[in-house]
Amino acid sequence: MFWAKVKKGPGCWEWQGARRVSGHGIFMGYSRKVVPAHRFSLELYLGTKAPEGTETCHRCDNPPCVNPRHLYFGTRQNNVDDAWARGLMPVGSERPAAKLIEEEVIVLRTAYALGGDAKALAAQFGIAVPTLRQIVLGMKWKHVGGPITRRRPQRARKAA
């Protein structure tokens, strides 16, 4: 029943059944619960259940692939680290929650380096002051250029 929904190619074996939005296949397993098709495939191949607390990770970066030679059990951190190493994680303006684009980050860093007020700049760009500080210090938007500035706020001097 499972393998009837698999199109075997020379490399990846593509799941032809139902899929999640992510592209990962889903399958009604032996327990009558929906399980990820790639996980089911690897468990069949190894003849054992996945270790507790693991995910089924792809070496091929092809979500519908169920070829057990392309799969391994790993931690969530393993899976995320692999995605970062392969350039699969969105950065900067590619991130859905991004409020800025790369060009704006350069303008923001430049304005701050030239003495711009943090509160005013944060308001202008629609971000919080702590976020602005992380950007100008190079802690966020690391892939973008512009001056990285470590500037202490000026304190008002007491009149003598």
Of 73, 78, 75, 58, which Cα lies nearest the Cα of 13?
Answer: 58
112 in Cβ contact with 149 (< 8 Å): yes
Q: What is the pLDDT of residues 37-66, one digit of tens each?
A: 999 999 999 999 999 999 999 999 899 999
pTM: 0.64
- Give residue limits of the domains in the chain: 3-85, 90-160
**CB within 8 Å of 7: residues ≥ 6 apart:** 13, 14, 16
The token pair that represents 125 in the structure block? 């760009």
pLDDT in tens, 79-127: 999 988 988 888 899 888 899 999 999 999 999 999 999 999 999 999 9
CA distances from 110 to 102, 126, 136 (A): 13, 17, 9
Q: What's 21's DSSP letter?
A: T
